[in-house]
Amino acid sequence: MKPGCLLVVLFLCTPFPCCAQSASRRGKPPDLGLTTVGRHRHPIQTTSKQAQEYFDQGVTLLYGFNHDEAINVMALERSGAEADEDFIERVPGPNVGDYAGLPITEAARKRANTWEASLLTLPEHQCKPHPSTYGFRGIGVLRVWEDRDPKTQQLVRIKTHIQWQEQERDIWMDGRPAPSDLEPHTWQGFSTGRFEGDVLVVRTTHLKAGWIRRNGLPLSDRATMTERFIRHGDLLTHVMMVEDPVYLSEPLVKTNGFAVAPTGTMEPYPCRPAVEVPRQAGDVPHHGIDDVPPTREFADRHGLPEEAAAGGAATALPEYMAKLPSLPLVEPKGDPNEGFGPPPAPPAGRGAGPGGAAPAGGTGRGRQ
């Protein structure tokens, strides 16, 4: 990326470098029994058969309820978006309880295990934008442009705008100092940038508490991020390193790819909260700390050891694959709605799985 450029770019999904999907996760989407609403196919720009199948399933669902919404929401190529290996991460969202390959702490794991997706139906949670630590990984067309002083033509800042929830960010390039630690934190944080050759290097602080993944894995308001934007012709590589002393045991590194869209469009994204589910005052959807952890349900569903599903820095290493055959699988005990048996003992050393032993039987965990 060089000074003076104006980009309208879109997501060109790239593999998450530290997570390998098992064969069972690369299969077909679950059969939802959509026999009463027909079947629909709408080709998208992807080399992934699974991505196409998930997309078609979404179109079928939407056609069954709202034809116009199906066209507007699921026809991704109309807005220039492309889906590939990370379609599940970018669009429908990851599985609840899948923390594999992420250097999370025990505190992050416990927070995620109590998360309930219905939290997003609360009015105060409906219009939250992604924080800058996640936004570039989420869905939505991205636009990048410069803001220069009209008299000196000095580069003052680089601005980015992601369509979903209108995430707009300032990357200050004029050398201004960082704000005080007492300054308010925001979703996009305070970002300063500099060029190292043709590479834009950005440092971000003053972030609100956010999330690592859309399955409850949290980030604290002490998280910081360092990014590098590298342009190769019409392709842009984005490398991000997130550090959090509360919820990450090591820096979390992700890469994202973008391609220039010469005729791309940026539509508005208005959002107005509404009461979607009537609830008692103060009722917040959640799971109890003693409920069956979603890591165990995810591991059982996909034939994985719970230790692997529970994540930790060690699960991102290539040599961890050699350890998998020696790890115990989850063994359901009786009615799965009444909980599972006790989890395996936590492994010793770096990247340990869930710590401590939960009571046998548990309290069960609702199925969505």
Q: Give the pairing of strands 167-172 and 190-196.
A: parallel
Domain that holds residue 310: 294-333
CA–CA separation, 149 vs 250, rounded Å? 39
pLDDT at 12 over 70: no
Residue 238: in which H helix or E strand, if any? strand 235-243
Examine residue 100 and state whether it is found in any structural domain, yes or no: no
pLDDT at 304 over 70: yes
Provide the pLDDT confidence category of residue 56 given band limits of 50, 70 and 90. confident
Q: Number of structural domains, the chain?
A: 2
Contacts of 175 (CB under 8 A, 6+ apart): 192
For residues 297 and 306, the answer to whether their CB atoms sit within 8 Å is no
Instruction: For 145-204, write each residue's pLDDT tens digit.
Output: 999 999 999 999 999 999 889 999 999 999 999 999 999 999 999 999 999 999 999 999
Domain termination site, one of 95, 122, 139: 95
Examine residue 192 and state whether it is found in any structural domain, yes or no: no
Instruction: Please state the three-class secondary structure of 270-304 as a single string.
Output: CCCCCCCCCCCCCCCCCCCCCCCCHHHHHHHHHCC
For residues 187 and 167, the answer to whether their CB atoms sit within 8 Å is yes
Q: Which token pair is 332? A: 């359901």
Radius of gyration of the chain (CA): 22
Instruction: For 311-357, write each residue's pLDDT tens digit.
Output: 999 999 999 999 989 999 887 654 544 544 444 454 455 444 444 33
Can you give the pLDDT at residue 52? Answer: 73
Distances (CA, A) of 349 to 7, 304, 313, 317, 340: 45, 20, 10, 14, 26
Examine residue 285 and state whether it is found in any structural domain, yes or no: no
Mean of the per-residue pLDDT values for the chain? Answer: 78
Q: Which token pair is 333? A: 């005990």
- CA 40, distance to chain mean position in Å, is 27
DSSP secondary structure letters along 93-153:
-PPTT--TT--B-HHHHHHHHT--GGGGGSHHHHTPPPPHHHHTTSSS-EEEEEEE-TTT-
Can you give the pLDDT at residue 44? Answer: 67
Q: What angle do CA 263, 266, 268 make, to 5 degrees?
A: 155
CA–CA separation, 94 vs 360, rounded Å? 27
Contacts of 169 (CB under 8 A, 6+ apart): 132, 135, 159, 160, 161, 188, 191
Q: Is the pTM of this model over 0.85?
A: no
Examine residue 222 and state whether it is found in any structural domain, yes or no: no
pLDDT at 104 over 50: yes
Distances (CA, A) of 192 to 158, 180, 226, 235: 9, 14, 10, 23
Can you give the pLDDT at residue 45? Answer: 64
Examine residue 312 and state whether it is found in any structural domain, yes or no: yes
Can you give the pLDDT at residue 74? Answer: 45
Examine residue 119 and state whether it is found in any structural domain, yes or no: no
Q: Which residue type occupies 183? A: E
Instruction: For 240-256, write each residue's pLDDT tens digit.
Output: 999 999 999 999 999 98
Please compute the mean of the pLDDT values over residues 61-83 and round it to a whole number. Answer: 49
Maximum Cα interatomic distance, the chain, rounded to a whole number of Å: 74
CA–CA separation, 170 vs 189, rounded Å? 9
N-terminal to C-terminal alpha carbon distance within the chain: 44
Which range has highest mean pLDDT (23-27, 109-113, 290-294)? 109-113
Examine residue 287 and state whether it is found in any structural domain, yes or no: no
Examine residue 194 and state whether it is found in any structural domain, yes or no: no
